Structure formats: structure tokens, C-alpha cells
């Protein structure tokens, strides 16, 4: 069916509608608009955010994470520190090291003396030759004279007549003798005891612990001649570290005891015993000749070892210190 047309109507034209007005707000436009209306630009204001795990913002449903407050350090008592395994292990280690070092530097030398102390080897660094003798006595004696020993002898008995000829010409009872070599030089203690075959103390032990110089004295009574010997410890030595070694050497040297006497003392009568003399402990051994003894002790602030063949002679020596 044909479409009817109305000639009186204007023909329809295709016209686009006006565009929609779209406005876009930006921060810059907001700032400009506020400034145009007399306001100032927006200024930030600090806000305090609660210390919570999360905080809801503006109903948008977003959350802002905030840092959690650090936990307070736990207070530990002093007992908990000392009970800490690390501390205990460290303390045990220090203790063990201290015990090891103490044993190595103090106990080992005492239990394992050097060959020189045992007498098994010569001293690698012998002391210098003695050139001058100085007496250990501080008080006047009844006389002093020298006796030359140039070669080994089998005991002081071989020197008795010579010594007696010296003292018989003077009065008194207490004298000092200076042993000399062929060059008229004083003889050291170690050399002297070796020459008379009277090493009741090992020569190397003497060199390591006592001064080379020594005092050789003589006590005379009723025609008897009783010698004595005074040794002085080195500056770096102590009686407490040498006393036991000295005692064991003297009291075990029975084969050389009699060589220290001018007159034969007879046989040993019993064993060494302990006594007190002038408040100091001494050790005494009696012989069958009642006037003869072998006595020794430490005097003069424990620096002087006196060995005497007469108890009265020992008293005289102590009184002249």
C-alpha cells in the first residue's frame, strides 16, 4: 500500500542535539575558585591518628595502616643474667684456662725441676768467677785468715793442722776463714764444697739458688775445731721454694757429712730432729762424738742458710749477724 504524502508539511531534517555540558573539578580549579571568591588556598592541618591497627576513613571503606607500638623490653633480673647459658659457658672457659695456666707456670716447675736442679747437667750459664769476698758478719770477730785449696781433698781433716797453726797463735774462739785458689782469689761456695768432697747440697743447685760468695767460720772450744758455713739466697729466690729441696739434699747426703768436719765426728747417732734456736726452727743430727753435731737452719729474714758442726758455734754465728 502506497504511502501518502502531505505536500503542506515541511520536510524533516536530521539535527544533532546540543552537547551536554560536562564540568570537571580538579584540585587546581578548586583552589582557583576559592581564591576568586576571596578565600585563601587550603592549608593542611595536622590531625592525630589514633594508634589502632586500622582506621576507617570517610565511609569509603578504606583503611589506613598504622604502626603498632613496639613492645616494652622485658626487665631481666641480675640472677637471670648469671643463669644465662652463654654466661655460664664463658665463665667455665675462663676458669679452665686459669687452672691450666696456673698449673703450667707454678706446679709444673715444682714437680719437674730442671736438670741443673737435679744435678744431672752442668749449668748452661755459670756465674762469673768470684773476685772478691765480703763477710756476712756485722760484728767484730776474733780473727780472720786465708786458707789455700788448689786441688781436691778428701775432707777438711786434711786442712786441720794448717788451720790449727793459725788459731793457736791468737786468743779467742770465733774466726773466719777465706778459702782461696792458687791465684789468691776467693773460691765460690760450689767450688769449695766440690774441692773438699763435701757436696751435701748439689753444686748446680747452689749456683742456681745461692750467691757465689759465702762465709766460712770456725768455732774453737777445748782444743776442738768446729767449722760452719753460711750461704745467702739469690735476690730472686725464696726460702719457701727452696727449703724442701735443701732439706732433702742435706739429710740424704750421708756419705759426705763427715767431710765437713776438721775432727772426725764418729757415726751418725739417730736421725735429724727439729728444734728451736733463737726462735727459729733448726734441724740437728747427733754423732757418737758427743761434742759434734750437724745442724742447719734459716736466719736473717730467711735469706741465710747456716750449716754448723757445733750447736754452740751456730749460736755464736747468729749473734754476729
Vertex 152 angle, CA 151 and 155, to 5°: 135
Q: Work out the average pLDDT over 57-78.
A: 55
Alpha helices in 196-238 (DSSP H): 203-209
Count Cα neighbours of 321 within 13 Å in the Cβ-side half-sphere: 18
Residue 141 is predicted with a pLDDT of 94
Express as a percent the part of the chain with pLDDT over 90.
Answer: 55
Least confident of 168-172, 212-216, 224-228, 231-235: 168-172
Residue 119 is predicted with a pLDDT of 44
* Residue 54, C-alpha cell as written in the block: 586500622
Count Cα neighbours of 98 within 13 Å in the Cβ-side half-sphere: 6
Alpha-carbon distance of 141 to 164, in angstroms, equals 17
Express as a percent the part of the chain with pLDDT over 70.
Answer: 66
Name the residue with higher pLDDT: 60 or 140.
140
> Structure pTM?
0.63
Residue 87 is predicted with a pLDDT of 62
Delimit the domains of the chain by residue range.
Answer: 139-319
Name the residue with higher pLDDT: 202 or 127.
202
Residue 130 is predicted with a pLDDT of 80
Residue 92 is predicted with a pLDDT of 76
Residue 2 is predicted with a pLDDT of 47
Residue 300 is predicted with a pLDDT of 92
Alpha-carbon distance of 123 to 247, in angstroms, equals 21
Q: What is the pLDDT of residues 113-155, one digit of tens each?
A: 554 444 444 444 555 678 899 999 999 999 999 999 999 998 9
Residue 30 is predicted with a pLDDT of 72
Amino acid at each position: 500500500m502506497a504511502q501518502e504524502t502531505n505536500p503542506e508539511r515541511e520536510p524533516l531534517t536530521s539535527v544533532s542535539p546540543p552537547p551536554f555540558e560536562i564540568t570537571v573539578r580538579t584540585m587546581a580549579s578548586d583552589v582557583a575558585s576559592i581564591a576568586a571568591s576571596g578565600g585563601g588556598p587550603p592549608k593542611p592541618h595536622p590531625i592525630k591518628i589514633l594508634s589502632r591497627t586500622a582506621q576507617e576513613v570517610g565511609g569509603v571503606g578504606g583503611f589506613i595502616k598504622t604502626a603498632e607500638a613496639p613492645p616494652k623490653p622485658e626487665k631481666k633480673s641480675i640472677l637471670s643474667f648469671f643463669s644465662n647459658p652463654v654466661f655460664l659457658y664463658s665463665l667455665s672457659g675462663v676458669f679452665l684456662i686459669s687452672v691450666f695456666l696456673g698449673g703450667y707456670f707454678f706446679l709444673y716447675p715444682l714437680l719437674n725441676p730442671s736438670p741443673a736442679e737435679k744435678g744431672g747437667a752442668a749449668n748452661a750459664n755459670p756465674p762469673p768467677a768470684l773476685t772478691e769476698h765480703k763477710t756476712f758478719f756485722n760484728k767484730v770477730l776474733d780473727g780472720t785468715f786465708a786458707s789455700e785449696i788448689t786441688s781436691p781433698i778428701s775432707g777438711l781433716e786434711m786442712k786441720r793442722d794448717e788451720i790449727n797453726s793459725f788459731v793457736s797463735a791468737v786468743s779467742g774462739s770465733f774466726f773466719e776463714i777465706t778459702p782461696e785458689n792458687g791465684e789468691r782469689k776467693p773460691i765460690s761456695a760450689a767450688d769449695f764444697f766440690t774441692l773438699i768432697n763435701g757436696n751435701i747440697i748439689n753444686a748446680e743447685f747452689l749456683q742456681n739458688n745461692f750467691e757465689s760468695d759465702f762465709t766460712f767460720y770456725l768455732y774453737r772450744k777445748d782444743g776442738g775445731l768446729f767449722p760452719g758455713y753460711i750461704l745467702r739466697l739469690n735476690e730472686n729466690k725464696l726460702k719457701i721454694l727452696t727449703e724442701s729441696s735443701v732439706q732433702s739434699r742435706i739429710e740424704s747426703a750421708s756419705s759426705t757429712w763427715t767431710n765437713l768436719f776438721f775432727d772426725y765426728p764418729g757415726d751418725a747417732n739417730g736421725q735429724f730432729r727439729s728444734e728451736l734456736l733463737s726462735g727459729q726452727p733448726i734441724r740437728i743430727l747427733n754423732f757418737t762424738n758427743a761434742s759434734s753435731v750437724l745442724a742447719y737452719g734459716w736466719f736473717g729474714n730467711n735469706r741465710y742458710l747456716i750449716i754448723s758442726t757445733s750447736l754452740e758455734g751456730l749460736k755464736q754465728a747468729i749473734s754476729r749477724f
